[in-house]
Amino acid sequence: MDLFFQSLLTAVLVYKYVAIFLITFFGALALPLPTNTIITASSFFSLQGYLDLRLVFLAGFLGNILGDLAGFFLARKYGKVLFSRLGLKHSLSLPSIVDAETKLRRHSFSTVLVSRFVSIASPMVNIFAGIAHVPIHLFSLAEILGAFGEVGIACAVGVVFGDNWQYIETLLQNATDVFILTLALLALILWRKKKHAQKQSKKPSI
């Protein structure tokens, strides 16, 4: 367990629900914080009678939703301006980015919903959904459902596995890494196949 994570656990023990809310809020916004692990640990503390499980869930749920919505609205309002200030305005008009934006708008609900369960991807999807002007009601609905599931699972792991939560979390983190890499690999192979098929169709038949 690293020192930073230990400090977060101490913060949860001292500031309780305020700490859970702030950690999940900033984790959902953009910071790389172990939000699910903190919720799992907090639900274990609630088993010991130190915290209230309902309030742990509520703080995590609200923190997640508000953090994700803040990221979405900030990107919606200032995303393109920020990109142009950074000199990256041109990159937003690249065909691949435009294509990704169109696809994200078409499958916004499922993309946002699935990304809630992959902590690393979630803030990125919020930013791109904001820039792509995904409809607010769709984003909010997917966000609420996703956050409910994500926080619920994290709480359930803490409750079911009790003081074994640290072992389960380690395994879950490894499983998430394997899952993301497998997705990346599949995407790479599909992309390669698509490019190959495009090249074949462009070749003049002799």
Partner 1 sequence: MSLPSSPSLKNVNRLRIALIVVVLLVLSVLAYQSWKIFRRYARNGNLAPRYPFHRFLNPHEDFQHLLPITPPTADTLKPWMTFDYLNRTLHLPSVYLQSTLSIQNSSYPNLSIKRYALTSHLNTDEALLRVQSAVRAYTSSSTKQLP
- Per CB under 8 A, 162 contacts partner 1: yes
Selected from 103, 167, 190, 194, the binder of partner 1 by CB under 8 A is: 167
Of residues 129 and 157, the one with the C-beta less far from partner 1: 157
Count CB atoms within 10 A of the CB of residue 26: 16
110, 141 Cβ separation under 8 angstroms: no
- Per CB under 8 A, 86 contacts partner 1: no
Whole-angstrom distance, CA of residue 20 vs CA of residue 112 = 23
The identity of residue 130, as a single letter, is G
Smallest CA-to-CA distance from 19 within 47, 38, 36, 6 is with 38
74, 160 Cβ separation under 8 angstroms: no
- Per CB under 8 A, 6 contacts partner 1: yes
The identity of residue 111, as a single letter, is T
Give the per-residue contact string, 10-29, with partner 1 (x = CB under 8 A; - = no): x--xx---------------
- Interacting residue ranges for partner 1, rule: CB under 8 A: 1, 6-7, 9-10, 13-14, 45, 47-50, 159-164, 167-168, 170-171, 174-175, 177-178, 181-182, 184-185, 188-189, 192, 203, 206
